[in-house]
Amino acid sequence: MTDTNVAVENQDIPVQAPEETPPAKKSTAVDAISRKQLAVKILVQIALYTFLTLMAITVLFPFYWMLISSVKTQGEYEATIPTFWPQQFKWENYLYLFVNVPEDNVYIANEFNLGKLFLNTVLVGVVSTLLSLVLTVLSAYAFARLEFKGKNAVFAAMLATMMLPGELFTISNYVTVSGLGWLHDGMGVFTALVVPFLVSVFYIYLLRQNFMQIPNELYLAAKVDGTSDLKYLWKVMIPLSAPTLISITILKMMGAWNGYIWPNLVGQGVFELVTVGLRGAGFQNAAGDTLYPVQMAAIVLVTLPLLLVFIFLRKYIMHGVSRSGIKG
């Protein structure tokens, strides 16, 4: 082997490194993926908000129609082609709910006294709510803290009644209040509107769950100090369970305001509530036609208190229910 060949063999042969993707190409690929993901995200958001908007319009449209119908004239309301904005605002529809507003003998004598119906409903709601709170607090405390034979069995039987619809007891309650003679005068009808629904198993269960979350050590310490059960309930448990009690108060008042079947059955013509009065004869003219704009105005005023309660007090309802361990 010659020296030339040795030199060639000993010569270092450079090793070619693998080709790398240029930074510009990498950046372009990443940007393309990012733009694709962004486009998909935007399309999803557009579809989501479009769906939510359509659902909101579907839910709110009846309320909008109720509002504009309450200020329409009778002729515009009965027109073949509906109008989505009143051609003439007739605010007298609201005034008629409280006093008689004659207009060329269109309105008959005012039979829909909204102020009286509001007063009746508030009276029934306040009295039934206060009495129901007393019974609910005492019952929930007994099932949460006191020990007596058959406590769990009694509570389970009460919970089982929640599986039955409330309308199932309408006839039996009516027979009972009739037998007691409560349907002969206004005071008896008022009693019949309040008493049958003072006990709510759901409210007792709701408050019991909240009471059971209060540490038992507080109860034992209070008993060592000689505190009675009622004093411990008033001084400790009720203040700690205030959010749940507020929720129960709001729900009970709303139930009294929205009730229709039972008030219509026992109180019609004697001690009417707003829900019953909305279907009364005070919305008819001399020809016997129903004055729907006036009826819509009444519905607006009856709906307004519940709407305000939902807007300003919904956080108390949610807080009280969440503290009791009930979700959904």
Is there a domain that residue 17 lies in? Answer: no
Structural domain count of the chain: 2
Give yes or no: residues 32 and 139 share one domain: no
Residues 288, 146 share a domain: yes
Task: Note down pLDDT in tens along the chain; length 328 residues.
Answer: 555 454 445 555 554 545 555 555 556 766 777 778 888 889 999 999 999 999 999 999 999 999 999 998 888 888 888 888 888 888 888 887 776 655 544 444 455 677 788 888 999 999 999 999 999 999 999 998 888 888 889 999 998 988 888 778 888 888 888 888 888 777 888 899 999 888 889 999 989 988 888 888 888 888 888 888 888 888 888 888 888 888 888 889 888 888 888 888 887 777 888 888 887 656 766 666 778 888 888 889 888 888 888 888 777 777 666 655 554 4
Domain range for residue 65? 24-69
**Extended strands (E) in the chain:** none
Could you tell me if 90 and 292 are in contact, meaning their C-beta atoms sit under 8 angstroms apart? no
Does 232 fall in a domain? yes
Cβ within 8 Å of residue 86, ≥6 positions away: 68, 71, 72, 76
Long-range contacts of 165-168 (CB under 8 A, 24+ apart): 167/261
Cross-strand partners of 290: 284
CATH number at residue 152: 1.10.3720.10
Same domain as 197, residue 290: yes
Whether residue 211 is found in the same domain as residue 307: yes
Both 37 and 155 in one domain: the answer is no
In terms of domains, do 162 and 41 share one?
Answer: no
Q: Are residues 65 and 127 in the same domain?
A: no
Task: Check whether residue 248 and residue 301 sit in a common domain.
Answer: yes
- Both 296 and 171 in one domain: the answer is yes
Residues 237 and 314 in one domain: yes
Regarding pTM above 0.85, the answer is no
